[in-house]
């Protein structure tokens, strides 16, 4: 069991869980991930190791609650545990040895780019991070990335930092010259757009692909992607690949395969939770067991009746 020792809400639907995983904290490398399994009946979820503390024996996982399984995971309280954490998995990031790198993080992908930025900075590479969110409250990991170098923060609505997408700030940096590599993590349209910004300049660009994963060992084929016309597996050959060679259209299609099932599972879970809440607060005769709610309901009924009488 891997106990949750710390928990923080980073943006409206992004949560950081710090969990006990001493061996993984000791041996993980930038870019690697784990597959977590909360317990019996739960899905297996791939999550990049956003940070690790060898002394405490913990790793940080940053989770965007987008479906039933991720909602269940972020619902864990401090002291509760995750049954299985497999990893570290995947290849470590190909970090350049010197020069100037730009790390681009979009939304929750900003947490994933953090270990890459730190790994580069530790080698003495100059790091500029370009991070983006829809608006101010969606920007994450800004302070953490400052430890690696300059941070340019962008918001889609201009509520904080530079107004616009991360790709606009990246374009200015690339045009100014002197950039040796770009590392991009975020939504697929963002990573595709980053690849198109750097392609004309021939700047080596790496994208971390969030393919659908099941076993994480190259056996199931779930995470297959096309890179340079070849089929490769994000879990064992990646997750990072040459962004100029990735077939982003195919990746987006495959990511959409289970969207309807996921939405349905989430809706069912929410409905069940609501039914459970209703059952918990109502007696068998239908009367409300919580006095404050009962009074509020009576007040609403009385107001409605008065309205009807007036009408
Ligand atoms: P989002 O949609 O809010 O976008 C975040 C930022 O990315 C925006 O502020 C903008 O700066 C940039 N961006 C988005 N679309 C762009 C475009 N078309 N062109 C240029 N820039 C663009 O992000 P979110 O909701 O936090 O991200 C969720 C997505 O990220 C999910 O699809 C998730 O699967 C994916 N994700 C990817 C990884 C990975 O390893 N690549 C990791 C975690 C999550
Ligand atoms: Fe099964 Fe990669 S997750 S092959």
3-state secondary structure of 221: coil
pLDDT value of position 308? 44
Q: What is the pTM of this model?
A: 0.83
CB 225 less than 6 A from any atom of ligand 2: no
Mean pLDDT of 108-121: 94
Pocket probe for ligand 1: among 172, 186, 188, 239, the residue whose CB has the most ligand atoms within 8 Å is 186
Mean pLDDT of 192-210: 97
CB 106 less than 6 A from any atom of ligand 1: yes
Q: Which residue has the higher pLDDT, 238 or 269?
A: 238
Class of the CATH domain delimited by 100-256 = alpha beta
pLDDT tens for each residue of 139-198: 999 999 999 999 999 999 999 999 999 999 999 999 999 999 999 999 999 999 999 999
CB 63 less than 6 A from any atom of ligand 2: no
CA distances from residue 40 to 11, 36, 73, 266 in whole angstroms, order as listed: 29, 12, 13, 18
Per DSSP, what are the bridge partners of residue 207?
A: 184, 241
Shortest CA distance to 214 belongs to which of 24, 31, 46?
A: 46
Ligand 2 centroid to residue 93 C-alpha, Å: 18
Asked whether the bond before 199 is cis by omega within 30 degrees of 0, the reply is: no
Quickly name the fold that domain 2-89 has. Answer: Elongation Factor Tu (Ef-tu); domain 3 (2.40.30)
- What's the token pair of residue 297? 């309901």
The beta strand positions in the chain, using DSSP E, are: 2-11, 14-20, 33-37, 44-53, 58-64, 81-82, 84-89, 100-106, 126-133, 149-155, 162-163, 181-185, 205-208, 224-227, 230-233, 240-242
pLDDT tens for each residue of 53-88: 999 999 999 999 888 888 889 999 999 999 999 999
Closest ligand (CA of 141): 1
Closest ligand (CA of 33): 1
d(CA 102, CA 14): 24
Report domain extents, the chain: 2-89, 100-256, 259-304
Place of tokens 């950039």: 179
Ligand 2 centroid to residue 77 C-alpha, Å: 30
Phi first, then psi: give them for residue 141, nearest 5 degrees.
Answer: 60, 25
Atom of ligand 2 nearest to the CA of 219: 4
DSSP secondary structure code for residue 224 in this structure: E
Ligand 2 centroid to residue 25 C-alpha, Å: 23
Pocket probe for ligand 1: among 109, 192, 198, the residue whose CB has the most ligand atoms within 8 Å is 109
Shortest CA distance to 192 belongs to which of 207, 179, 204, 202?
A: 207
The residue whose C-alpha atom lies closest to atom 4 belonging to ligand 2 is 218
């Amino acid at each position: 069991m891997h106990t949750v020792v710390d928990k923080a809400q980073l943006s409206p639907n992004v949560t950081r869980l710090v969990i006990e995983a001493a061996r993984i904290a000791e041996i993980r490398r930038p870019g690697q991930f784990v597959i977590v399994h909360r317990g019996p009946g739960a899905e297996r979820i791939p999550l990049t190791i956003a940070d690790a503390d060898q002394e405490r024996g913990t790793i940080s996982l940053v989770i965007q609650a987008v479906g039933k399984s991720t909602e269940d995971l972020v619902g864990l309280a401090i002291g509760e545990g995750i049954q299985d954490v497999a990893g570290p998995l995947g290849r470590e990031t190909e970090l350049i040895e010197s020069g100037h790198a730009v790390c681009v993080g979009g939304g929750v992908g900003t947490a994933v780019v953090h270990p890459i930025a730190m790994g580069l900075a530790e080698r003495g590479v100059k790091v500029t991070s370009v991070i983006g969110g829809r608006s101010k409250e969606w920007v994450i990991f800004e302070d953490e990335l400052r430890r690696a170098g300059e941070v340019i923060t962008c918001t889609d609505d201009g509520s904080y930092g530079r107004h616009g997408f991360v790709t606009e700030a990246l374009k200015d940096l690339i045009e100014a010259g002197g950039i040796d590599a770009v590392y991009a993590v975020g939504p697929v349209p963002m990573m595709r757009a980053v690849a198109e910004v750097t392609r004309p300049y021939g700047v080596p660009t790496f994208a971390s692909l969030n393919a659908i994963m099941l076993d994480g060992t190259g056996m199931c084929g779930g995470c297959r992607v096309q890179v340079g016309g070849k089929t490769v597996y994000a879990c064992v050959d990646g997750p990072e690949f040459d962004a100029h060679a990735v077939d982003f259209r195919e990746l987006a299609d495959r990511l959409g395969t289970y969207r309807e099932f996921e939405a349905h599972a989430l809706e069912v879970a929410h409905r069940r939770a609501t039914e459970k809440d209703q059952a918990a607060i109502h007696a068998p005769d239908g009367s409300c067991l919580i006095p404050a709610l009962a009074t509020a309901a009576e007040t609403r009924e009385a107001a409605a009746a008065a309205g009807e009488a007036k009408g």
